[in-house]
Chains A and B, each alone.
Chain A
Amino acid sequence: MNLEADPTSFLAQRPYAAAPGASRDAASVRRNLIGFELRPSLRTKLLMAFLLIEVLLVSVGVIGLLSLREADQRANQIVALQHKIEAYRQMQHDTLRQLYGVSTALEFADETTLAIALRQINQFGYDLDRVSFVAKDEVALLNQVREEYGRFIAVVSNIVDLIRSGRTAEAKRSERAELGPLADKLERLTNQLVNRAEADMVAGIDTSRQTYAKSLILVAAVALASLVLTLVLGHAISRSVINPVGIIHDGLNRLAAGDFSQRIEVPNHDELGELAAHVNSTSEELQQLYQRLEEASRHKSQFLANMSHELRTPLNAILGFSELLLDGIYGEPSEKMRSAVERIQRNGKHLLGLINDVLDLSKIEAGQLRLSLADYSVEELVNGVYTSVESLAAEKKLDLKIAVPVGLPPARGDERRLAQALLNLVGNAIKFTDAGEVRIEVEAKGASLKFSVHDTGPGIDEPDQAKIFQEFQQVDNSITKAKGGAGLGLAIAQRIVEMHGGRIWIESRLNHGATFSFLVPARLEQEAKQT
């Protein structure tokens, strides 16, 4: 809300109202200057933070999965190498058996042995097929093996043919001269294959071990980084939320305590910044409202003070002339005239009392009334009150009693105001009591004095008891209506007692009389702070 723009605003023309507006303008200029700055809302901030955390979690997962896949691939490679080695060994084994079969055939030269040797040749063919299947990467060596093997088969077939045709010696020669070296070569070749595969396997196992260590470090590092980042992020977010909330909380507390002048500074450009701005504008409005109220209250008090002065001036003349008339300055008045003038005087004094009450109350409320503290005698105070109401009680045929302990030390306070408070209580008691007694009592209670006024009047019902201390409040019934009065006496008495740092209360039951009491410090050195 922009109060400056509101021409009907009461404070719009006031210079001090311009100050907060000016600072607000400066702030908006500053904001415009840094218009490109990122100003994410709280929702965006939180969303971004959670998004980032999710991204981190997903990356940790992806990195883990990738490492797992690599490990799986390595395991498969090792299994493949194992198959290769097995096949190579099978081949070697079969080559040896082949040699053995041929040797045996040469030894016995029967058809059965020859058939076995030939079947073994076939078996060797299978081995070769299997090897070429599991070791597709070893083409060159395998081709060599195949070539050598082709020769080997040719030699074996030749030898078998030689044995069948009975040329055993020739076969033996061929076996020794050709088959042996071929078998050796084959074995060397397959050994080469096995060695290579084994070396591959060792290397594979080594690599996979290294890869595992690397993945472990990578995953752990990413997880740790995520953890740190999340903590930092959480801290930053909570700082950007908790700090402003704390500041706003303090600001609201000050506001609740009635300090409207403070403005809270929250650097946030998000919802909390907005909230702080709201709190500031609210406290500004409250401040202006409060100033207006204070001013209105001051005007009211000033008006009452002026008014009662204006009212009193003619009243002084009325009372002055009445007194001169009664004193016989203008000649001795007749009995009838005296009675009439006495009525003028009595009513004038009553009116004066009411005006003084209004004035007292307005002075107290405006904080203009100060206690003048001095030593006083409790007994004299009570006697003074007694003297001034004695005739009133006598008129109503009430029994007016006082009970003050003997030998009370001098008390300290505003004697005139305390007497006024006590007088108001006694005056009320006499006014509302039609028969019986009114008793003024003083008790010393430690460092306090308790003044009480008992009466045998109509009493006050409990629900009404709290109301009667408010100004202009009287218990609304026919009895009080008949008694008149402005209802200011108790309010004034209460203010006076409170200024002394004391308290006032009533104990009463309907139709069983009432006791008004107040407790004040026996020796008041400093006026109580007004609330």
Chain B
Amino acid sequence: MSKRVLVVEDQEDNRQILRDLLANVGYEMIEAENGEEALTAARTQLPDLILMDIQLPVLDGYEATRRIKAQPDLRHIPIIVVTSYALSGDEEKARAAGCDAYVSKPYSARKLLETINQYLT
């Protein structure tokens, strides 16, 4: 059974990149465009890993991460937070929200894949 990755990203182009990248290595990709959708998808689909963007409409990535990690049945799902370079202190905030790893934009597709693989194998 292929691993399923929940990608939370509001930019369609970025989702397309991840779609292509993940499909290429045989992972299944579940998509969510904001924090609310991410919560629902995490609960209903129980993905193997979550790739969480920070700047999201409705509910931002920090809050979504915090809420997922607050649920005992979802706590085990590794969350990789993707932050923007724009704001300093993002890494600390992401860690505080309970994420497992942290990748800053712009990321190299190859490096992102390496990080994802660390949690899926």
User: Which A residues are closer than 8 A to B by beta carbons?
Assistant: 305, 308-309, 312-317, 319-321, 323-324, 327, 329-330, 352, 356, 359, 363, 368-370
Contact = CB atoms under 8 A, between A and B. Distances in A.
What is the interface of chain B mostly: helix, strand, loop, or mixed?
loop
B86 A321 contact: no
Interface residues of B, number: 18
B119 interface: no
A369 B41 CA distance: 36
Given A317-B11, A317-B13, A369 B88 contact: yes
B39 interface: no
B14 A368 contact: no
Given A305-B86, A356-B85, A369-B88, A316 B106 contact: yes
A321 B14 CA distance: 9
B10 to A, nearest CB: 10
Max count, chain A CB within 10 A of own CB: residue among B11, B17, B84: B17
Contacts of A369: 88
Contacts of A368: 88
B106 A319 contact: yes
Contacts of B21: 324, 329
A356 B85 CA distance: 8
Max count, chain A CB within 10 A of own CB: residue among B11, B20, B21, B106: B106
B118 interface: no
Nearest to B105: A316
B88 A323 contact: no
B121 interface: no
Interface of B: 11, 13-14, 17, 20-21, 24, 84-89, 105-106, 108-110
B86 A359 contact: yes
B88 to A, nearest CB: 6
Nearest to B106: A316
B90 to A, nearest CB: 12
A131 to B, nearest CB: 124
Nearest to A348: B106
Contacts of B85: 312, 356, 359
Given A316-B106, A368-B88, 18 more contacts: A305-B86, A309-B84, A309-B86, A312-B84, A312-B85, A312-B106, A315-B106, A316-B105, A317-B13, A320-B13, A320-B109, A323-B110, A324-B21, A329-B21, A329-B24, A330-B20, A352-B106, A370-B88
List the 5 closest pairs (A to B, CB-CB), nearest first: A317-B13, A320-B17, A309-B86, A329-B24, A316-B106
A314 B11 CA distance: 9
B86 A324 contact: no
A362 B104 CA distance: 19
A324 B109 contact: yes
A312 B17 CA distance: 15
A317 B88 contact: no
A388 to B, nearest CB: 14
A309 B104 CA distance: 13
A316 B108 CA distance: 9
Contacts of B84: 309, 312
Contacts of A313: 11
9 contacts: A305-B86, A312-B86, A320-B17, A321-B17, A323-B108, A323-B109, A323-B110, A324-B17, A359-B86
Nearest to A352: B106
B70 to A, nearest CB: 28
A311 to B, nearest CB: 11
Contacts of A321: 13, 17
Max count, chain B CB within 10 A of own CB: residue among A305, A321, A368: A321
Nearest to A315: B106
Nearest to B15: A317
